[in-house]
Amino acid sequence: MARPRKPRSCGCTFCGQAYHPAGVPVHTLEQIRLFPDELEALRLCDMEGLTQQEAGRRMGVSRGTVQRLVKQARGKVARALVEGGALVFTQQEGEIL
């Protein structure tokens, strides 16, 4: 049995449903889902310059969890930039904000 998911505090807001190359319709691009906790970890560590330990305290999770979230988010953002995909902001599986 899997361990229950710990609630995560996310202070970021979404500006829209997707971020994609200008002039290209979203439906023609590979859609790369970015979840709120991934975006929040990326924002805290890369934009605000917090350590993973400090970001973990703010989010209410361990430093290891923040490290995993940042790694996942950076990979998704890099893939979208290099391959021209669309970052689609989703709340959970199948739901687009």
Q: What domains sit in the chain, N to C, each tagged with a CATH number? A: 30-89 (1.10.10)
- 19's tokens: 């971020």
Is 48 a residue whose pLDDT tops 60?
yes
The DSSP secondary-structure symbol of 14 reads -
pLDDT band with cut points at 50, 70 and 90 for residue 51: very high
Task: Give the model confidence (pLDDT) of 56-87 as tens digits.
Answer: 999 999 999 999 999 999 999 999 999 999 99
66, 9 contact by CB (below 8 A): no
Q: What is the pTM of this model?
A: 0.81
Is 44 a residue whose pLDDT tops 60?
yes
pLDDT of residue 94: 45
